[in-house]
């Protein structure tokens, strides 16, 4: 009996398999993990659809779909070996069949409802595994970048995210297109826990990867009476981080003088952000930027602003 991560995508695990509960710490993970499959289909006209697909575990790209051949390209060395080649072949075939049906269905609906081309349809399906070993799956559909429909796993019904005649029409079609709902249910509702545990085990190193933040402090003078102290922090992983400005050793609370950017991605799956504090020049206080991050353990990085 072999456990197959294939169930992650398409196949339920063989019923004879015992549950994976190795004492060696298969479930040593804490926290919540989410797996997502993203599909973006651009309908240029009735006969030309371009589809992109991406699989993610948290923020780690597992693989994508080649948009010309609809074959899977693996981005992580630990994903493909989780399954025998024949399983991946089956998965690829099912994806191809699904995408053909999807394009057909959407084109039909677009013609019925006079939907103008080009337009973009997106699907996101996946599941979230909680520390208590329960899981919640989800499926969302987007149209031209807006929320369109979502799937309620508890009663297997499609819910409107926007109330238009088009969304009602697609809702009715999907409600009858039970193959899709059944697929989502089998893949995500029934097998999420087992599949996630396999992936969490195989991808342990990638999920536990830690990169130290590099912080730089500098200043700008936009006006003679204002000094902007900027703390730029980059190169860290995972994403959660705490960055603060200290005035005479005390954390500056949120307020109009403080401006924290969004956390932005770098190309190498690390992140960056900057936090800016507006002060008066020569105000007699001392300033330092403090960074706390998982890679620093219980310690923190302290970069003083020196003139």
Q: Where on the chain is the footprint of ligand NAG (CB under 6 A)? A: 130, 132, 134, 153-154, 156, 185, 189, 256, 259
Q: Which residue has the tokens 């403080």?
A: 258
Nearer of residues 129 and 198 to ligand NAG, judged by Cβ:
129
Nearer of residues 79 and 229 to ligand NAG, judged by Cβ:
229
Nearer of residues 65 and 125 to ligand NAG, judged by Cβ:
125
Residue 1 CB, shortest distance to ligand NAG, in Å, is 22
Residue 155 CB, shortest distance to ligand NAG, in Å, is 7
Residue 57 CB, shortest distance to ligand NAG, in Å, is 18
| Cis peptide leading into residue 118 (ω within 30°) | yes
Residue 167 CB, shortest distance to ligand NAG, in Å, is 21
Nearer of residues 106 and 153 to ligand NAG, judged by Cβ:
153
Q: Is 11 helix (H, G, I), strand (E, B) or coil?
A: coil
Nearer of residues 134 and 210 to ligand NAG, judged by Cβ:
134
Nearer of residues 47 and 132 to ligand NAG, judged by Cβ:
132
Kindly write down the DSSP assignment for every residue of 192-251, as one continuous string.
HHHHHHHHHHHTHHHHT--B--EEEEEEEEEETTEEEEEEEEEEEBSS--EEEEEETTEE
Nearer of residues 16 and 132 to ligand NAG, judged by Cβ:
132
Are residues 213 and 247 in contact, defined by beta-carbon separation less than 8 angstroms? no
Burial of residue 53 (number of CB atoms within 10 Å: 0-12, 13-18, 19+): buried
The token pair at 126 is: 């996946």
Closest by alpha carbon to 39, among 108, 111, 101? 101
Residue 63 CB, shortest distance to ligand NAG, in Å, is 26
| Direct distance between the N- and C-terminal alpha carbons of the chain, in angstroms, rounded to an integer | 67
- Cα–Cα distance list, 47 to 43, 77, 97, 114 (Å): 8, 36, 17, 15
Closest by alpha carbon to 153, among 170, 167, 166, 140? 140
Nearer of residues 6 and 135 to ligand NAG, judged by Cβ:
135
Residue 260 CB, shortest distance to ligand NAG, in Å, is 8
Residue 85 CB, shortest distance to ligand NAG, in Å, is 30
Residue 47 CB, shortest distance to ligand NAG, in Å, is 35
What are phi and psi for residue 179, nearest 5 degrees?
A: -55, -40
For residue 116, count other CB atoms closer than 10 A to its CB.
Answer: 6
Closest by alpha carbon to 103, among 49, 39, 169? 49
């Amino acid at each position: 009996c072999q456990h197959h991560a294939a169930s992650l995508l398409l196949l339920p695990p063989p019923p004879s398999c015992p549950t994976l509960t190795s004492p060696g710490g298969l479930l040593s993970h804490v926290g919540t993990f989410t797996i997502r499959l993203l599909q973006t289909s651009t309908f240029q006209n009735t006969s030309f659809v371009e589809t992109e697909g991406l699989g993610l575990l948290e923020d780690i790209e597992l693989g994508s779909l080649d948009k010309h051949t609809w074959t899977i390209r693996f981005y992580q060395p630990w994903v493909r070996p989780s399954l025998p080649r024949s399983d991946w072949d089956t998965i690829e075939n099912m994806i191809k069949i699904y995408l053909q049906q999807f394009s057909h269905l959407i084109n039909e609906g677009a013609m019925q409802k006079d939907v103008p081309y080009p337009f973009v349809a997106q699907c996101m399906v996946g599941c979230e595994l909680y520390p208590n070993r329960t899981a919640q799956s989800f499926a969302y559909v987007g149209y031209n970048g807006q929320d369109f429909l979502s799937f309620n796993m508890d009663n297997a019904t499609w819910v409107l995210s926007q109330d238009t005649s088009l969304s009602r029409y697609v809702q009715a079609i999907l409600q009858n297109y039970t193959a899709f709902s059944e697929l989502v249910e089998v893949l995500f509702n029934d097998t999420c826990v087992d599949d996630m545990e396999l992936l969490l085990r195989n991808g342990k190193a990638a999920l536990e990867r830690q990169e130290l933040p590099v912080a730089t402090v500098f200043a700008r003078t936009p006006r003679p009476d204002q000094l902007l102290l900027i703390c730029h922090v980059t190169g860290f992983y995972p994403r959660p981080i705490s960055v603060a400005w200290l005035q005479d050793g005390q954390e500056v609370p949120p307020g109009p003088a403080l401006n924290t950017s969004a956390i932005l991605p770098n190309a190498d799956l690390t992140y960056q952000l900057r936090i800016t504090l507006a002060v008066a020049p020569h105000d007699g206080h001392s300033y330092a930027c403090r960074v706390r991050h998982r890679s620093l353990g219980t310690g923190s990085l302290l970069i003083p602003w020196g003139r």
